[in-house]
Chains A and B, each alone.
Chain A
Amino acid sequence: MLQPLLEIKNICVEFKTRGGALKAVDDLSIDVQQGEILGLVGESGAGKSMMGAAILGLIDPPGRLSSGEIWFKGQRIDQNPEPFRGCEISMIFQDPLVSLNPLKKIGDQLVETILRHKRMSRAQAIDRACRGLIEVGIDPERLNAYPHTFSGGMRQRVVIALALASEPSLIIADEPTTALDVSVQAQILKLLKKLCDSRGTSIILITHDMGVISETTDRVGVLYAGRLAEIGITDHVLRSAKHPYTRGLVASTPKIDPDSFGRSLYQIPGSMPKLDAIPTGCAFHPRCTMRTDKCSQERPPMMKDTAACWLLEEME
């Protein structure tokens, strides 16, 4: 098997509070292959954004990466992520309305980013910026426009153009379409997919929307309470999930098909625990219909590289 592009090994992201240290991400390990789109799905507060931020060392204090290693292209990067930011690994955030500096023309922001990572003349950088805009579907004449003159969808395209400016190998997209209209969402996702295909860029797509996952991703990881519950090829996970939580998630996604009409929407009972009240053993066990005694005592490791659930142990 090819060496993965990104390897995350047993990372923990902790917050120091007066009551003790809270773990937003707890012993998480996951890999990203070259040229794949990996989805990270979970409810709000599951730790997906934290994970994304951890890769580039962008966790806001008082949080910090307290243990674990992150390897990129065979190099360890968690101690020194700065050289990789915007260069080999880019990140885009949720709300395009606030991702761009309101006082700077988008052309200036593009040129600045390009010049930061590649040596070239200013004229060449401007040329590069124009081509970048065309690639994301924006008229290069708008190079001198200010962000507030763009709509939400257009702004996200600018953000993507900025992230692509230095031709990174990996893009971390943290809920890139959540703040946009549904119709615009589809366009942006299509754009991301197209760019990924044409350049061989890998994407980590963080979202809470199962629809986005099924449309766009090759593989998907399911996060719960800061832990990886399940990982696998998207089609397999959605159709035959191994982890009870994933099954619950899929079942509770509203579908538009004639069979679903007339049936009430399934909801997983209870809610995800807060960081200071994570249950012992498997974090999901209080809400799980298939729990055993072992589930409340010991935390299950990742079984068969698929799901972290004691139920899979019997199958061995």
Chain B
Amino acid sequence: MVLILLRRLGQAILVLFIVALISFLIFRYVGSPVDNLLSQEATVQQRADLEEALGLNDPVYEQYFRFVWNAVNFDFGNSYRGSLPVAELISSRLPATLELAFTSALFALLLGVITGIYTAIRRGGLLANLILTLSLIGVSLPTFLIGVLLIWVFAVELQWLPSFGRGEVVQLGWWSTGFLTLSGVKSLILPSITLGLYQLTLIMRLTRSEMLEVLRQDYVRFARALGLSQRSVYFNHALPNTMIPVTTIAGLQLGSIVAFAIITETVFQWPGVGLLFINAVYFVDIPVMSAYLLLVGVLFVVINLAVDLLYLAIDPRLRDSQLSGDS
């Protein structure tokens, strides 16, 4: 078991270094740090001095390691727009994105699994078919379009919910939360639905197809033949076997929530790191871009690793087969 852990960890670290390398290359070589920090009237000498001061003349690998070291210490340089430290920018906006991601993931997971199980058990039923058709539409629509349409219906026409921003937030130390105020919660609703909808349809279809597959298995048939109750067969035998592939794939999807958060935050002007990133792309704010890339890369690698290990923990068959060398 330990061997497997170490191997996975090793792979993960390697990928991290490569991601850091790409991030570093962008940081250092795209655009010019010097140009962005100095005004256009700077003299050649001033440029050279600055280059020296920034360590831009040192060997590349030295600069790379310095970059990584700084990153580990949460120093990502300063933004080109306003010269605030990037780390501060990111940390101040992180809670917004995390709360949004968490709420939408919860929404997608709960509703997705429930509808998935329902459409599998009640196969061919009217409601089940309706849900499936709607899900097809949900998958085909771009996230931003869903968001815009939701705003139109609920914010403009019905005026039930706010159309942008986070509402009032409460500051708890470093973290700012929108969960504790009514306007905060109301502001969370539309963005969470927008962000979670794609994940929901994915999880729903996955749960359904896995459940159908499991229900066809002989051990389910045997459980029925043994006289076990319908409920027990569904929830005690079929469901746990279904949830394994569902949780792993859902876990991997967590990563794409981060990507789609960018879109949702833009639609709703949600002050999170996604909006920060897209503005950075628009204004070519390189330090923010490269820092975001690094953080997101770390996040993805960690998620993939965690899901891998979770899978190993749940399925007893894998533990033994991994030991014997086949994977």
Q: Is the CB of B225 within 8 A of A58?
A: yes
Q: A93-B221, A95-B218, A98-B219 are in contact. Are A103 and B226 (CB under 8 A)?
A: no
Interface residue? A56 (CB, 8 A): yes
Q: Which of B222, B227, B229, B317 is A93 in contact with, Cβ under 8 Å?
A: B222
Instruction: Determine the chain B residues whose CB is within 8 A of the CB of A163 once the complex forms.
Output: 226
Given the complex of chains A and B, what is the CA–CA distance between A83 and B227 in angstroms? 7
A32 shortest CB reach to chain B, Å? 17
Interface residue? A241 (CB, 8 A): no
Q: Is the CB of B316 within 8 A of A103?
A: yes
Q: Is the CB of B320 within 8 A of A148?
A: yes
Instruction: Determine the chain A residues whose CB is within 8 A of the CB of B232 once the complex forms.
Output: 112, 116
Can you name the residue of chain B whose Cβ is closest to the Cβ of A82? B227
B313 shortest CB reach to chain A, Å? 12
Q: Is the CB of B219 within 8 A of A85?
A: no
Q: Is the CB of B218 within 8 A of A99?
A: yes
A72 shortest CB reach to chain B, Å? 14
A227 shortest CB reach to chain B, Å? 25
Instruction: Determine the chain B residues whose CB is within 8 A of the CB of A148 once the complex forms.
Output: 316-317, 320
Known A58-B221, A100-B222; further 20 A-B contacts with Cβ < 8 A: A84-B227, A86-B227, A87-B227, A90-B225, A91-B225, A92-B222, A92-B225, A93-B222, A95-B218, A98-B219, A100-B219, A101-B241, A103-B315, A103-B316, A112-B232, A116-B228, A116-B229, A148-B316, A159-B222, A162-B226
Instruction: Enumerate B178-203 residues with CB–CB distance to A below 8 Å.
Output: none
Instruction: Enumerate B215-258 residues with CB–CB distance to A below 8 Å.
Output: 217-219, 221-229, 232, 236-237, 240-241, 244
Instruction: Determine the chain B residues whose CB is within 8 A of the CB of A15 once the complex forms.
Output: none
B229 shortest CB reach to chain A, Å? 7
Instruction: Determine the chain B residues whose CB is within 8 A of the CB of A92 once the complex forms.
Output: 222, 225
Instruction: Determine the chain A residues whose CB is within 8 A of the CB of B223 once the complex forms.
Output: 101
Can you name the residue of chain A whose Cβ is closest to the Cβ of B240? A103
Can you name the residue of chain A whose Cβ is closest to the Cβ of B321? A148
Instruction: Determine the chain A residues whose CB is within 8 A of the CB of B228 once the complex forms.
Output: 86, 112-113, 116
Instruction: Enumerate B299-322 residues with CB–CB distance to A below 8 Å.
Output: 315-317, 320
10 A-B residue contacts at CB 8 Å? A85-B224, A93-B225, A98-B217, A98-B218, A101-B223, A101-B241, A112-B232, A113-B226, A148-B320, A162-B226
Instruction: Determine the chain A residues whose CB is within 8 A of the CB of B320 once the complex forms.
Output: 148-149
Q: Which of B229, B237, B244 is A101 in contact with, Cβ under 8 Å?
A: B237
Q: Is the CB of A85 within 8 A of B217?
A: no
Instruction: Determine the chain B residues whose CB is within 8 A of the CB of A58 once the complex forms.
Output: 221, 224-225
B58 shortest CB reach to chain A, Å? 56
Instruction: Determine the chain A residues whose CB is within 8 A of the CB of B217 once the complex forms.
Output: 98
Instruction: Enumerate A168-196 residues with CB–CB distance to B below 8 Å.
Output: none
Q: Is the CB of B241 within 8 A of A103?
A: yes
Q: Is the interface of A mostly helix, strand, loop or mixed?
A: mixed
B193 shortest CB reach to chain A, Å? 34
Q: Is the CB of A146 within 8 A of B222?
A: no
Instruction: Determine the chain A residues whose CB is within 8 A of the CB of B227 once the complex forms.
Output: 82-87, 113, 116-117, 166
Instruction: Enumerate A276-316 residues with CB–CB distance to B below 8 Å.
Output: none
A142 shortest CB reach to chain B, Å? 14
Instruction: Enumerate A98-137 residues with CB–CB distance to B below 8 Å.
Output: 98-104, 112-113, 116-117
B312 shortest CB reach to chain A, Å? 14
B128 shortest CB reach to chain A, Å? 15
Can you name the residue of chain B whose Cβ is closest to the Cβ of A56? B225
Can you name the residue of chain B whose Cβ is closest to the Cβ of A94? B218
Given the complex of chains A and B, what is the CA–CA distance between A104 and B218 in angstroms? 14
Instruction: Determine the chain B residues whose CB is within 8 A of the CB of A162 once the complex forms.
Output: 222, 226
Can you name the residue of chain B whose Cβ is closest to the Cβ of A84? B227
A178 shortest CB reach to chain B, Å? 13
Can you name the residue of chain A whose Cβ is closest to the Cβ of B314? A103
Instruction: Determine the chain B residues whose CB is within 8 A of the CB of A112 once the complex forms.
Output: 228, 232, 236
Q: Which of A87, A90, A91, A101 is B219 in contact with, Cβ under 8 Å?
A: A101
Q: Which of A93, A146, A149 is B218 in contact with, Cβ under 8 Å?
A: A93
Per-residue A-contact encoding for B99-127, CB less than 8 Å = 1, 0 else: 00000000000000000000000000000
Can you name the residue of chain B whose Cβ is closest to the Cβ of A145? B316
Instruction: Determine the chain B residues whose CB is within 8 A of the CB of A101 once the complex forms.
Output: 219, 223, 237, 241
Q: Is the CB of B225 within 8 A of A85?
A: yes
A73 shortest CB reach to chain B, Å? 16
Per-residue B-contact encoding for A137-163, CB less than 8 Å = 1, 0 else: 000000000101100000000010011
